[in-house]
Amino acid sequence: MIRKKLIAGNWKMNKTASDGVTLARDIVEAIGRETSVDIVLCPPFTALESVGAVLEGQSVKLGAQNLHPEKNGAYTGEISAEMLRGLFTSHVIVGHSERRTYFGETDEFINKKVLTSLANQLKPILCVGETLAEREGGSTLAVVQRHVECGLAGVTAEQITAVIIAYEPVWAIGTGKVATTEQAQEVHAYIRDLLTKLYGAPLAQKVRILYGGSMKPANAPELLAQKDIDGGLIGGASLESRSFIDLVKSAVAAGGFPWFSLRAAGMRPAIPWPAGGAFRNPPPLRNRPPDLLPARVPSAGRARWTTPHAGRAVALRRQDRRDRASHRARPFPSAARHR
């Protein structure tokens, strides 16, 4: 199953509004048009509007660090989902280990935040993970199971693919202790198994699971190469543009999601196809993934790609025949850009 990588920067209680604008501009200048991975910036509440203005028209999305489950009321210092939506926020972090530890947030309260986020078209990044004492006590999987099952209580099968889960080994964040790649993959695979039991394998394979245990440019390539690690929730490394940009580039290298790779995977591109005409102009060679080589570029009908995998090539040829039979040959979208 192809899952688009996601790199989310959690700035925590750092950066003023003006500092946030500077950092966001540096990031946008370098990777603002990157679409093969999802990128989310989560500044503090005071910088949401100013950073959001920088991100307008870019592929980088705006996220928040928290929200209150109530719509409004006497909740001093809190912020509602409606307020976040008013600032064009698309993602929100819920259940972060620091909220659980310092502010006493319970699994039940965090679950309310997840449901509120989904009800307001916000994508929750649900954080789960164990402390050092829980790790040393051998209760890692039990803690993660409780966090996942309680956090997702009431989330329907139709909603689950909008949820993003972030595994935080709390004991490996800012402590000098390091979680190995194998330890991270083990827990990510366990979370995937939990999702399979709750929602079935097809939906579980669509849910992205991020790693939140101090991912840095040095360890990102190895972590992102793991089967069940779909990106990172980045803390300290997101506060400096160069390190954050390097993490995004690592995600691209580990498994970008170019639209033309969807066809080889048996999926239709998300880009709408104009009706009629012919697919005359393939993407430039520099943009093609290494396992997709052009077989030919016909003057009419859909362009065909072959791969080292014979099964894929056969499927593409069959689709070509079906397209021609139903007179549904379509042109390459925005073909003028490649002429």
**Is pLDDT at 262 greater than 70 in this prediction?**
no
Angle (CA) 14 20 26, round 5°: 125
pTM above 0.85, yes or no: no
- The percentage of the chain sitting over the pLDDT mark of 70, rounded to a whole number, equals 74
Q: Exposed, middle or buried, 295 (CB in 10 Å: 0-12/13-18/19+)? A: middle
For 208-227, the pLDDT digits (tens) are 999 998 899 999 999 999 99
Average pLDDT over residues 40-57: 97
User: What does the pLDDT average to over 304-327?
Assistant: 53
| Closest to 277 measured CA to CA, from 302, 304, 295, 294 | 302
**Where along the chain do its domains lie?**
6-257, 267-338
pLDDT tens-digit series, residues 82-119: 999 999 999 999 999 999 999 999 999 999 999 999 99
Q: Which of the two residues, 47 and 172, has the higher pLDDT score?
A: 47
Give the Å distances, CA to CA, from 136 to 18, 166, 296: 42, 21, 58
Annotated active-site residue in 68, 91, 96, 188 = 96
Superfamily of domain 6-257: Aldolase class I (3.20.20.70)
* Res 326: pLDDT: 55
Q: CA–CA separation, 64 vs 66, rounded Å?
A: 6
| Between 306 and 39, residue with greater pLDDT | 39
Dist CA 163 CA 115 (whole Å)? 10
Which has the minimum average pLDDT: 20-29, 99-108, 328-337?
328-337
pLDDT value at residue 311? 56
Mean of all residue pLDDT scores within the chain? 83
Place of tokens 């203005």: 53
Contact 132, 179 (CB under 8 A): no
Residue with tokens 């003057």: 299
Please confirm, yes or no, whether 149 is among the known catalytic residues.
no
Number of H helices, E strands in the chain: 13, 10
Positive or negative torsion for Cα 174, 177, 182, 188: negative
Identify the active-site residue in 98, 130, 134, 168.
168
Q: Output the pLDDT for position 274.
A: 38
Predicted confidence band of residue 1 (pLDDT cuts 50, 70, 90)? confident
Check if 134 is active-site: no
Spatial distance between the Cα atoms of 262 and 284, rounded to a whole number of angstroms: 16
Kindly give, in sequence order, each residue whose CB lies less than 8 Å from that of residue 126, ignoring residues fewer than 6 positions away. 94, 95, 110, 114, 147, 148, 151, 152, 163, 164, 165, 166
Q: How confident is the model at residue 318 (pLDDT cuts 50, 70, 90)?
A: low
DSSP 293-317: EEEE--SSS--EEE-S-HHHHHHHH
pLDDT-derived band at 147 (thresholds 50, 70, 90) equals very high
